[in-house]
Structure 1
Amino acid sequence: MRIKRADYLKSAVYEKDYPERLNSVEFAFVGRSNVGKSSLINSLTSRTKLARTSKTPGRTQLINFFIINQEFYIVDLPGYGFAKVPKAMKKEWGSTIERYIISARTKLVFVLLDIRRIPSEEDMEMLRWLDFHNLPFKIIFTKTDKISNNEKFRLLKEIRKKIEFHNEDVFFYSSLSHKGREEVLQFMEDTLKEAGGNVDEGIE
C-alpha cells in the first residue's frame, strides 16, 4: 500500500461526534501509555507530526481520527494504564475506548505491546475484551530496536506464558528504523481488499 496522503480529521469522545463512516475497514491502534503508539502511526504514514507524542504519558484523552488516501481511517485510541492518572479519569477513558470498540463501525484493532515488558493486567483485559466482542485484532510488538535478537527470543518466551500466539500472527515493529512497516501496510492492504475497499497498491 502506498500512503500518499494522511491527514488529521477530528477528535471525538462520543459516537455522535465520530466522522462519517467510509465504505471500508478502519484500523484502530490501542495500547498502554508510552508504548510508542503515536511514533508508530507517524512511522506507518511517513509523517513526522501526524500523531502528536506527549512528554507526559496518559494525556491523550480523545479518540483521534486520521483519513488515509481519502479512503480509510486510522484511529488513535487513548492510552491506558498510566499509574498517575486519577481513577475517575481512567474510568472515563475506559468508557471512551469501550464506546468505540462496541460501535457498529467496521474495524480491525491493532493492540500495541512493548516487547521489553511482560503484558500488564490492562493489556490482558484489552485482549480479553476484544475477544469477548468477537472483534478482529492483531498484536504489534513495539520498540524492537531496543533489544538484541537473543533478548527478543528470551522475552517472547516469557510473554508466551501469558499470551498464546505464533510469530506469524503478530508483527514486530521499530518506529526508529521502520522495520516491520512493510508487513503491517501489506496486511492493511490485504484486509481492505478482502472487505472490498479501494486500495492504492504498493509500498511507499
Structure 2
Amino acid sequence: MPDFRNTTVLTSAADAKGFPAPGGPEVAFAGRSNAGKSSAMNAITGLKGLGRTSKTPGRTQLINFFDTPGGRLVDLPGYGFAKVPDSIKARWRVLMEAYLNEREPLAGVILIMDIRHPLKPFDEQMLAWAAHSDLPVHILHTKADKLTRNHQNQALAPLKRRLPDASMQLFSAVTGQGVDEARSRIAQWLDAEDEA
C-alpha cells in the first residue's frame, strides 16, 4: 500500500486552465460543506495540514491537487453552504463539472457524507453522475464517533438498503475508525489505473 504520508501539495486551480498535466491516476474527494472532507483527507494521509479544516463551511473554493505515491489526490470544493453568494456557487459548479466531466486520469471518487445527515441533494447528484459516467464511488460516512456503535449500525442499515450496490463504510477522523479501509480502497484505484 502507498505511504500516504508522502503526499505533497502540487497546485490549486480556479478553472480548468489551472489543472496540472496528467501525472498518474487521480482520486477525488467530494462532499458537502462541513461533512468532514478535510478532516478525512488529513486522517487518510496522516498529515494534519493537508486538507485545511475550518469551522466555516465553504472554505475550499479551488480544486486542490496533491501528489501521492502512485498518483494524485484531488480535493474538490465543498458544496451546499447557504451563506456563499450565488455567483460563487455558480463558479464552483462550473469548476467541478469541468473536472468531473473532462479529467481523463480520474479513477474514482471518495464521497464524504456526515453519517448524521446522509444523502442530501448534492450527494444524490454525485452518485447519479458517477453512475452515468461509470466511475467508481466509495462513500465515507464521516463523524461516526458522534454516534454510539448501535446508532452507527442503525444509521447505516437504511443507506445500505437504499444503495445496495454502493461501496460504503463508517469513518471517524477523531478515532481513526475506517482509516485503513479507506486507504485500501484508494490504493486499489491507484494500482488498478497504473496497471491499465
Residue identity over aligned pairs, in percent, reads 37
Mapping 1:123-138, distance limit 5 Å: 123-138=123-138
Q: In structure 2, what residue type is equivalent to 1:51?
A: G
Residues 118 and 158 in structure 1, CA contact (< 8 A), matched pair in contact too: no
> How many residue pairs are counted as aligned between the two chains?
193
2: CA distance, partners of 1:166 / 1:132:
14
- Distance between the aligned counterparts of 1:20 and 1:153, measured in 2? 42
In structure 2, how many angstroms separate the alpha carbons of the residues matched to 1:122 and 1:188? 22
1:142-157 superposed matches below 5 A:
142-157=142-157
Q: Residues 123 and 102 from structure 1, CA distance in 2 versus in 1: closer, same or farther, beyond 3 angstroms? A: same
Please give the TM-score of this superposition, normalised by the length of structure 2. Answer: 0.90
Give the counterpart letter for 1:12 in structure 2. Answer: A
Question: TM-score under structure 1 normalisation?
Answer: 0.87
Measured in 2, the distance between the counterparts of 1:25 and 1:171 equals 22
Q: Which residue of 1 is the match for residue 20 of structure 2?
A: 19
Residues 60 and 183 of structure 1: CA distance in aligned 2, closer, same or farther (over 3 Å): same
1:9 is matched with: 10
Structure 1: give runs of 5+ residues left out of the alignment: 198-204
Instruction: State which of 182, 191, 194 in structure 2 corresponds to 1:193.
Output: 191
Distance 2:157 2:83 in 1: 30
Aligned-residue offset at 1:133? 2.3
Contact 2:61–2:77 (CA under 8 A) maintained in structure 1:
yes
Matches within 5 A, 1:46-85: 46-69=46-69, 71-85=70-84
Cα distance change on mapping 1:94 and 1:117 into 2, 3 Å: same
Cα displacement (A) at 1:25? 1.7
Match of 2:169 among 168, 171, 189: 171
Q: Distance in 2 between matches of 1:4 and 1:111?
A: 21
More helix by share: 2
The superposition leaves residues 22-79 of structure 1 with CA deviations (integer Å, 9 ceiling, x where unpaired) of 1x3211000000011111111111111111112211121100011113x311100000
Q: Give the superposition deviation at 1:80.
A: 0.5
Separation in 2, partners of 1:40, 1:187: 14
Q: Which runs of 5+ in 2 are unaligned?
A: none
Residue number in structure 1 paired with 2:105: 106
Hey, what's the Cα distance between the residues in 2 that align with 1:16 and 1:41? 25
Q: Distance in 1 between matches of 2:164 and 2:113?
A: 13
Q: 1: distance between equivalents of 2:58 and 2:188?
A: 32
Q: Tell me the C-alpha RMSD between the 2 structures.
A: 1.8
